[in-house]
Chain A
Amino acid sequence: MTRVVARRLVAGAGVLLALTAVTFLIFFALPSGDPAALRAGRGASPETVERIRASLGLDEPLPVQYLTFLQRLLLEGDLGHSWHDDLPVAELIAGRLPATLSLMAGAVVLWLAIAIPLGTLAAVRRGSWLDRAVGAGAVVALSAPVYWVGLLALYLLADDIGLVPLLPGAGAYVPLTEDPLRWLGALVLPWLVLAAAFGGVYARMLRASLVEVLDQPHVRAARAKGLSERRVVLRHGVRVAIMPLVTLLGVDLGALLGGAVLVETVFNIPGIGRLALDAIGRADLPVIQGTVLVAGAGVIVANLLVDVAHALLDPRIRAR
């Protein structure tokens, strides 16, 4: 197992390296604003723009620019400075990461807490109103854009502009270390929005998987041994049926990051997603590179954790 993890980490590093190259190429291949001109401002003289271009290293050939970036990254662990406000990229990311992690972790916990019981009940009570409701809910969740759901949630439930003022709304986020209670309150609505986007689909998937598992011989054997139905479903059914969900979770963490960008925007949560979005608008390559690297590393680590979880859940994988 340790060897597998080590191998996956090395491969992950290769993927991250490739990611930096692709990001770099896309930045210069697609039309974007000229960073030097953007920084120089309106009416700046050609000399000023050129001085800024040189100061940012943009006057070097592209391969040299990329190699300089790599050299700093690999030898010094330096992600560089923002072209927009000259702040260290690592500092910017470190300041934003807790908000995004809070948002994502809470949303995952919430949607699994919703999806697992609902999917299990829907599978056990096939054809019931609950089963049909889970199916319909999944369709609605899949078709409703996160941004729209976020706005709707605010207009309905936010304590400042909502029809039924229940929960803190946009701009209420504070770091956990500053005020844990306000942190929790401010994240409930964003968590609900993200959980709604994914929870229905997971419940539907678990239901389908569990229906199939409950028909398998090992489940029939468990029932024949006289185990309680609850124990049969949870120990012998859900534990097996949940495997596809774990796999899906690894894949969905990337999508979740995309959803988090939108939720961060609607709720004004200062996270990585919004940092990346702003950086793209400002043609701020160092920040774009930094956020892409962090997001890529997050997806790689998440997939690694999924593999580990697989091994923990499935004794056959552990045995290999």
Chain B
Amino acid sequence: MISLRRTTTILRKECMHILRDPFTLIFSLIMPLVMVLMFGSAIEFNVRNVPTDYLDQSHSQASRTFLNTLSSSGYFKTHEVSSPREGIDRLGREASKAFVIIPPDFESRLLGRGDGKLQILLDGTDNTSGTALSGYIGTIHAKTMANLSNDPSAATAEPITLRTRFLFNPELNSQWFIVPALAAVVMAILSILLTTLTIAREWENGAMELLLSTPVRATEVILGKMIPYAFLGLFAIALLYILARTLYGLPFIGNHLVFWSSTLLFLLTYLGQGLLVSTFIHNQQAAVQIALVLGLLPTMLFSGFIFPIEHMPLGFQYLTTIFPARWYVQIARDQFLQGSTFTQLIVPFSVLILYAYVVIQLCIIHFKENLEE
């Protein structure tokens, strides 16, 4: 039988621990804030104002139209160079990312024979922005044609035009992609640090042995330790949620019940994992190291947070399924942007429930062993 009184006593003790140590409390409040601000502003996949050199040997109406279209697009910031050599040199020392060369006979060929040619050299070292730039150039190509003929319908002179509709994130806002998944990272850091540090500390200074000598049961210890930290974690995610909605204007299309219940499940899994690590390893430093490797690294690398799972080799794609973070990131992103129903998310949900259950059971069993020793 679980005694409510004993559980609340442990709970109260744990709360006092948290309140007495201002560092932990401040850390768990500030950390999500800093993470959201840093990641939200540092990661931007949309390229703007790319320093672009041009060499206009044609000096014609047509070449000026092209260059104007280029610079007014907002993607390219143009700068004139005087020779091909200089342009290549500037690419080499990172002064520019693109180099447009317009040959002398550009206009005469364009208007006369209808095969005006110009060349653009792109710095391909960063493949992501290189791909984006080559896409923008396609748009500028079409716009130049329209501007040259003073006829907007000329832009559609291509036999097939593609109209792309971006569902769920129409403006391709990078923050909308990053911030929901950050919830997983914030919880990973919080639960690892809090549980491993506090419990491993209790082992280290002998307070745990004192606790074990009392008639308290394993389940009660686990519950009493988990609940206050779960609240702290939920509070951090609430902070992240408010920042996401207000600062970055994220929509929330899903169901709050779905989002928060999955958050709680994930939090319990990670807190449980932290507890489990600290029951095995009674040394703070080793506990933190193991918790980082088991908790934080997979959350950062194998959850689809930044590196999409679909891009990994097949073996790694299977590997990601064993980490709860992968499933939580899927739910969190979906609930903010896509709004799937509970039944559509039944697979990730079942996995999270399974993980939470298994981890907490393992905690209780292992704690019992400790108690009986």
Pair from one complex: no
